Structure 1
Amino acid sequence: MDENLVFDLTRQALWIAVRMSAPLLIVALVVGVVIGLFQALTSVQEMTLTFVPKVALMLAVFWVTMSFMTTTLAGFFTDQILPQIIGS
């Protein structure tokens, strides 16, 4: 196994990790900004106001995108990792 191959597989794995985590991180960012603006406008400083909606929406997005994440990770494993294991 060549070191360039290891670097290429690592780069691809990191890119897949970014693609898989992007929907959850985007939802957390948007919900956090919206709730932060709401708290700043209304002067309501309740900690559970930020935590509960963010967690609930992240769980919903995770549930919706779970098939995408599983397909992406399984595809990477079968297309990239398994041929390297079998070939060596």
Structure 2
Amino acid sequence: MTSGAILDVARDGIVVFLKVGGPLMVIALLVGFVISLFQALTQIQEQTLIFVPKIVAVFAAMLLFLPFMGDAMAGYMGRVAVRIATGG
């Protein structure tokens, strides 16, 4: 396997990682921002208040995006398997 092929596989893996993890991270960021804004406006400084809504939102987003995430990972595995089978 040449260094170019290794870089292609690594680049493809990073893109798939961003496709799979990106939406969940953005949702967690937005929920955290909204909760932080709520805490600042109401002066409620409870540390555990941020975790439960964020966990629920990420779990709901994971259920929503699961077909897309599975398809992206399956496609990447298929491309890697073809490279392994053909020898590079």
**TM-score interval, normalised by the smaller of the two chains:** over 0.9
Residue identity (%): 36
**TM-score of the two chains, using structure 2 as the length reference:** 0.94
CA distance in 2, matches of 1:83, 1:21: 24
Q: CA RMSD in A?
A: 0.8
**Counterpart residue identity of residue 46, structure 1:** E
Q: Number of aligned pairs? A: 87
For CA contacts below 8 A with separation 6 or more, give which structure has more relative contact order: 2
Displacement of 1:47: 1.4
Is 1:77 matched up with 2:77? yes
Q: What CA deviation, in whole Å up to 9, does each residue of 1:22-73 have, x standing for no partner?
A: 1110111100110101000100011121000000110010111111111111
Unaligned runs of 5+ in 1: none
TM-score by length of 1: 0.94
Q: Hey, which bits of structure 1, 4+ residues long, moved more than 2 A?
A: none
| Residue of structure 2 equivalent to 1:60 | 60
Query: Where do 5+ consecutive residues of structure 2 fail to align?
Result: none
Structure 1 residue aligned with 2:37: 37
SS of equivalent residue, structure 2 residue 57: helix
